[in-house]
């Protein structure tokens, strides 16, 4: 079995609140078809790909519920699944999940080229807040709308349609947390798919970070964590101006040495295609990052013992 997988990062431009869902789905199907034409067998879409990034508003009732999927697939998204299966292309896609028992998650799905579902993931690292920021024009209410994913970071061994890759998923903010990458690395991950919606600047002003710095951060964490776990990574943005709030682009495909092999140049719908030789993960996993030989978990206790910072005591005044 060939260990080379042709992957397309399907960056999406903005999706406005008023855009009909069928319009957005049409854009995704076009990206999928372009990817298939270029020979890709895996297409990576962004986080919350079917809608605008709705946690920027305080919503309730149907204005909120309308963004959630009650099953996956469901009739509203079925055409994407059907087209993918017909083309023999699999995909990663992020979506807002309303689980049968009523909990909501920021979730992602990996679908193999034959249409079977390889795996599901629910976002662990929810940014933002539960309570709205008073007077702010834009919110970040992921902690209000979603429950924390509670199944860790599972890796999945794909079938021949994905070259037998060991694959993992993250969503947006997860990629800034090396713990997420390491838990996947400890399962031998060879390809990490990440969709994101990352603000290009503080939409309420104030923190001094601009789009260039935030794009740098986004790529830096993908590069270093790919290297430190000897894995490929595909990080894909929803980008551009959504109803006055800017999102970075910077989608990229990163090799197991942490080098960017393909990178988005726009803030719109844009496809990056690359051949990922999964065997390029081998050297790192066998040598520098041979975890069994070199990790010292007995020295890592605080990482799982507590969430927050405990500073060393102040020195005695001399």
| Residues recognised as catalytic | 47, 123, 172
Strands in the chain per DSSP E: 4-11, 42-44, 68-69, 90-98, 104-111, 117-122, 155-157, 166-171, 191-196, 232-237, 240-242, 245-247, 252-254, 260-263, 270-277
Of 4-12, 74-82, 97-105, 300-308: span binding a copy of itself (CB under 8 A): 300-308
List b or e across 102-129, with b for residues whose CB sees 16 or more CB atoms inside 10 angstroms: eebbbbbbbbbbeeeebbbbbbbbbbbe
Burial bucket for residue 92 (CB in 10 Å: 0-12, 13-18, 19+): buried
CA 315 to CA 308: how far, in whole Å?
A: 21
Q: Between 16 and 116, name the residue whose CB sits nearer to a copy of itself.
A: 116
Query: Does the protein bind a copy of itself through residue 51 (CB under 8 A)?
Result: no
Q: Between 80 and 166, name the residue whose CB sits nearer to a copy of itself.
A: 166
Q: Tell the smallest beta-carbon distance from residue 186 to a copy of itself (Å).
A: 5
Query: Does the protein bind a copy of itself through residue 288 (CB under 8 A)?
Result: yes
Whether residue 73 is preceded by a cis peptide bond, meaning omega within 30 degrees of 0, is yes
When binding is defined by CB under 8 A, the residue of 177, 260, 262, 277 that contacts a copy of itself is 177
Rg for the chain (alpha carbons), in Å?
A: 20
Residue located via tokens 């050297």:
283
- x/- map, 135-164, a copy of itself, by CB under 8 A: -------------xxx-xxxxxxxx-----
Strand partners, 8: 43, 273
Are 280 and 255 in contact by the 8 Å Cβ rule? The answer is: yes
Q: Tell the smallest beta-carbon distance from residue 292 to a copy of itself (Å).
A: 3
Q: Tell the smallest beta-carbon distance from residue 6 to a copy of itself (Å).
A: 20
Of 30-38, 41-49, 80-88, 169-177: span binding a copy of itself (CB under 8 A): 169-177
**214 three-state secondary structure:** helix
Query: Does the protein bind a copy of itself through residue 23 (CB under 8 A)?
Result: no
Q: What's the Cα-to-Cα distance from 92 to each of 60, 81, 138, 224, rounded to whole Å?
A: 28, 11, 28, 22
Number of amino acids touching a copy of itself (CB under 8 A): 73
When binding is defined by CB under 8 A, the residue of 179, 210, 263, 277 that contacts a copy of itself is 179
Query: Does the protein bind a copy of itself through residue 85 (CB under 8 A)?
Result: no
Query: Does the protein bind a copy of itself through residue 22 (CB under 8 A)?
Result: no
- Write out the binding residues for a copy of itself, residues 197-236 only, by CB under 8 A: 207, 213, 216-217, 220-221, 223-225, 227-228
Q: Between 259 and 265, name the residue whose CB sits nearer to a copy of itself.
A: 259
- Write out the binding residues for a copy of itself, residues 95-124 only, by CB under 8 A: 124
Query: Does the protein bind a copy of itself through residue 49 (CB under 8 A)?
Result: no
- x/- map, 246-285, a copy of itself, by CB under 8 A: -----------xxx-----------------------x-x
CA dihedral 176, 14, 234, 183 (to 10 degrees): 40
What is the CA angle 209-214-218, rounded to 5? 155
């Amino acid at each position: 079995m060939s260990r080379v997988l042709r992957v397309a990062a399907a960056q999406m431009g903005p999706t406005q609140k008023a855009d009909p869902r069928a319009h957005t789905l049409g854009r995704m199907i076009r990206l999928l078809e372009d990817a298939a034409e270029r020979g890709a067998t895996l297409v990576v879409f962004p986080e919350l790909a079917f809608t605008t990034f709705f946690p920027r508003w305080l919503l309730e009732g149907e204005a909120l519920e309308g963004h959630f999927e009650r099953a996956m697939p469901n009739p509203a998204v079925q055409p994407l699944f059907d087209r993918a299966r017909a083309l023999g292309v699999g995909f990663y896609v992020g979506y807002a999940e309303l689980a049968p028992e009523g909990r909501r998650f920021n979730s992602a799905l990996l679908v193999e080229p034959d249409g079977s579902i390889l795996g599901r993931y629910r976002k662990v690292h929810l940014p933002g807040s539960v309570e709205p920021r008073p007077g702010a024009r834009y919110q970040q209410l992921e902690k209000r709308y979603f429950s924390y994913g509670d199944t860790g970071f599972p890796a999945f061994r794909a079938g021949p349609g994905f070259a037998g890759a060991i694959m993992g998923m993250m969503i947006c903010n997860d990629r800034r947390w090396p713990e997420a990458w390491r838990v996947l690395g400890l399962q031998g991950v060879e390809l990490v798919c990440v969709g994101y919606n990352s603000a290009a600047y503080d939409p309420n002003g104030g923190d001094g970070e601009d789009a260039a710095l935030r794009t740098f951060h986004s790529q830096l964490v993908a590069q270093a964590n790919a290297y430190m776990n000897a894995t490929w990574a595909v990080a894909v943005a929803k980008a551009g101006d959504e109803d006055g709030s800017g999102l970075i682009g910077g989608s990229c495909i990163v090799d197991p040495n942490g080098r960017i092999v393909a990178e988005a140049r726009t803030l719109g719908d844009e496809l990056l295609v690359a051949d990922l030789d999964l065997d390029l993960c081998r050297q790192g996993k066998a040598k520098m990052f041979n975890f069994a030989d070199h990790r010292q978990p007995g020295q890592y206790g605080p990482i799982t013992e507590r969430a927050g910072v405990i500073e060393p005591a102040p020195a005695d005044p001399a």
